Amino acid sequence: MPRLVRDRDGVGDSGPMSLAIWVDDNGKEQVEHGARPRVGVQMRVGSITARSYEAQDWWQTTTITEILEESENQVKFKTGNSTYTWIC
C-alpha cells in the first residue's frame, strides 16, 4: 500500500490510491492510476473513497521538480516547497 510522507514533519497519507496528476499540452488534466512519482506530476496518495471519522481522505503534493533518490520500493523527491518520500 503506497505511503507519502513529507520529510520535514512526517505528515502525509497512505492508502490504495497513488495517482499522478498533470496538465497536458492541450490544457486537459490527465490522471494515471497506480503511478510512481516522476518529474512534472503532482502525486495524490490515500483512500479511494471517503473515510469515516477521519480528518482527510488523501494527501496531494505540488508539482515534482526533481527526483533525489529512487529504488524499487521508494522514491524521494522535491516539489516547489517540500521534500517527500513515497514508499510502496
**Residues 45, 18 contacting (CB under 8 angstroms):** yes
Residue pLDDT, tens place only, 26-85: 999 999 999 999 999 999 999 877 666 666 789 999 999 999 999 999 999 999 999 999
d(CA 75, CA 6): 12
Q: How many domains does the chain have?
A: 1
Which residues form the domain of 34? 3-48+56-87
d(CA 22, CA 40): 7
Cα end-to-end span (Å), the chain: 6
Q: Taking the complete model, does pTM exceed 0.85, yes or no? A: yes
